[in-house]
A and B are shown apart, each in its own frame.
Chain A
Amino acid sequence: MSQLLQAAAYGVVQGGLLGLVAVGFSLVWGVMNVINLSHGALAVTGAYLAWLLNLHFGLDPFLALPVVAIALFLFGYALQRGLINLVINAPIFLTLLLTFGLGLVILNSLQLLFNADDRTIETSYASQSLALGTVNVPYGRLAACGLALAITVGLAAVMTRTRLGHSISATGMDRGAARLMGIRARHVYAITFGISAALAGVAGTMIATVGSFNPTTTPGQLTLDAFVISVLGGLGNMYGALVGGLVLGIAESVGGLVLTGTWVNAIAMAVLILTLIVRPSGLIGKAQYSGRVEV
């Protein structure tokens, strides 16, 4: 029983983190209809940046977050404006191909720069845990999960309350009509991609703080997780990503008690397939803007 509780608690904090990986991925998919296969690579780029800042300047990963977020935002903005925008109207196969290739370029560059070793950001609080009865929750994971929750709520508020959020949703719903309102769609797309990249960077930093990462297997795993969670929770829906992350985190963690190793991936897929059979639009439902109309 205590083993189950421990697994469930771990699943919750891990799930929050996975939700943070997925929320930006889901945003880009919902607004731009781009399945960004380089999302995991962007997350790992953020992880390396935080790792470098910690290694050379002793900066705590939580304090490094703003730097990572801004750097990844600018990188994401430029990527969208200069590269992904070229295929934004192309069939989805082309955007898949481009973002897959982009991911390969990024992760091979990282491997060239830092080799393929597993890395982790060492912190004084990494080994300390909050004890709740028989259940132990590491402080780092708890903070990461709390941050994921705060970011998701914050992003949802930005989308529904602010001028920027309105322009993003309108562009996602009907780009042609949004442009007739004077909304600069290309700029909005680039900002959306920048936000997504920044969130990926933040998620990557958190992963590096509570676990380890490397340039070869981590990006693909994160992209796969983000994909499963986005579809599971409901495309483009911020809270959907969070709930999808929690469901996946708990399922993998509890399922890991019974099954071993890579079978955990099978659990993720089984959860996805079962959900889609019961609720095709995802657990929370698709966001309003994910049913797009072209010019």
Chain B
Amino acid sequence: MLEIEKLNAGYGRVQVLWDVDLAVEAKQIVALVGANGAGKTTLLRAISGMIAVRSGGVKFRDRDIAGASIESIVDLGIAHVPEGRRLFSGLTVRENLVLGGWRRNNRDLSRVVALFPVLGQRLNQVASTLSGGEQQMCAIARGLMSEPSLLLIDELSLGLAPIMVDEIVGRLPEIAASGTAVLLVEQDIDTALTVSETAYVLETGRITRSGSSRELLADATIQAAYLGLESQ
């Protein structure tokens, strides 16, 4: 569904991504892992049109979206839950969710409230007064309100308690099964490789490893580099 080929992108004169290849199939959960500064956020931004693509192809449902505007990419069915969540902090949860469905004029909150029942109890609460985990739920729910077929989630676990991370990550298979594939960017590699089927490892702007998440999780070099485990 999403096919990225030899993507080069960056900020101004600084190139961050070098010849990146990546693919996401429909209803799949794909993890993009790597150290801080590897270019994970940049890759999501290049997909959703927040930064310009220098060269290479980004195809979504067989349409070339490299260089398309953020808004038209949303129209095609990609929702981006940005780093830091970027909720409209002075507005209520309900207003945030309705803004998420703005483009399609979708005001039906039932799907996202079923997914995150706690949001249902917080609908009239101002978003900035939610706990970190609830804010992340709200941000993901807001992304889902545009009824995307691909959801990009940047640093889901950032600043959250482990129990909250498990709670939210536990919802991803349900999201994928309902027709929204997920591309998850995570520094918490253990979590990311456990929930995903396929994974890509990004190091200083290049994809260095990719394949089945289960195999990568069992791989000794991955364990040593990212999980701090000594190889046996």
Contacts and interface: CB of A to CB of B under 8 A. Distances in A.
21 contacts: A166-B98, A167-B102, A170-B88, A170-B99, A174-B86, A176-B82, A177-B86, A178-B99, A179-B50, A179-B70, A179-B74, A180-B48, A180-B50, A180-B86, A181-B99, A181-B102, A181-B103, A181-B146, A182-B103, A182-B104, A291-B90
B80 interface: yes
A182 B102 contact: yes
A166 B143 CA distance: 17
Interface residues of B, number: 26
A158 to B, nearest CB: 15
Q: How large is the interface on A (under 10, 10 to 19, 20 to 34, 35 or more residues)?
A: 20 to 34
Given A180-B82, A181-B99, A288-B91, 12 more contacts: A163-B105, A166-B99, A170-B99, A173-B88, A180-B74, A180-B86, A181-B102, A181-B146, A182-B102, A182-B146, A183-B99, A295-B50
B92 to A, nearest CB: 11
A293 B100 contact: no
A177 B88 contact: yes
Contacts of A279: none
B102 A183 contact: yes
A170 B95 CA distance: 10
A291 B88 CA distance: 11
Interface in A148-205: 163, 166-167, 169-170, 173-174, 176-185
Contacts of B89: 173
A181 B74 contact: yes
A169 B96 CA distance: 11
B93 to A, nearest CB: 14
B219 interface: no
Contacts of B91: 169, 173, 288
B64 interface: no
Nearest to B90: A288
The 6 closest A-B pairs by CB, nearest first: A182-B103, A182-B74, A288-B90, A177-B86, A179-B70, A181-B102
Contacts of A179: 50, 70-71, 74
Contacts of B99: 166, 170, 178, 181, 183
B211 to A, nearest CB: 30
B75 interface: yes
Contacts of A293: 86
A56 B56 CA distance: 61
A181 B146 CA distance: 7
A167 B105 CA distance: 12
Contacts of A163: 102, 105
